[in-house]
């Protein structure tokens, strides 16, 4: 995938006072299966293509994104009845009418999980 399809550390360093480099899939969530698969899945969560700018209060609050991550982990990945396998679709939702911009980067106003 070309660099024009994701934001790298340059953006996050320049805007670190407002935005976290939020991982859409949390590192611990895909750590299951054979050892090699779990290690690869864990490493893949650190790719910039798994990140999106989120306001630090939204990203770090258990009331918002962090709380949604915890709910998925507790009610899916570690729940006995799921056999430790669930499928979660998540991502930014872009809305040209309400989204703000940071330089030439559109900041999503909503997230799906």
Tens of pLDDT, residue by residue over 18-65, are 888 777 777 777 777 889 988 888 888 878 777 788 877 777 777 777
pLDDT-based confidence at residue 71 (cuts at 50, 70, 90)? confident
As given in the structure block, the two tokens for residue 94 are 């872009």
Rounded CA gap, 4 and 25, in Å?
Answer: 21
Identify the CA nearest to 41 among candidates 29, 53, 24, 54: 29
Determine the average pLDDT of the residues in 94-100: 92
Q: Which helix (H) or strand (E) holds 19?
A: strand 19-23
pTM of the full structure:
0.63
Angstrom distances, CA of residue 1 to CA of 6, 61, 94, 97? 9, 31, 20, 28
Q: Picking from 13-17, 51-55, 61-65, 105-109, which range would have the lowest pLDDT averaged per residue? A: 61-65
């Amino acid at each position: 995938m070309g660099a024009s399809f994701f934001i790298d550390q340059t953006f996050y360093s320049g805007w670190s006072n407002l935005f976290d480099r939020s991982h859409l899939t949390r590192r611990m969530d895909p750590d299951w299966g054979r050892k090699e698969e779990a290690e690869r899945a864990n490493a893949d969560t650190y790719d910039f293509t798994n990140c999106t700018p989120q306001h630090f209060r939204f990203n770090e609050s258990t009331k918002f994104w962090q709380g949604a991550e915890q709910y998925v982990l507790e009610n899916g990945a570690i729940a006995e009845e799921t056999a430790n396998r669930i499928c979660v679709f998540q991502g930014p939702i872009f809305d040209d009418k309400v989204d703000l911009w940071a330089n030439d980067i559109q900041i999503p106003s909503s997230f799906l999980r």
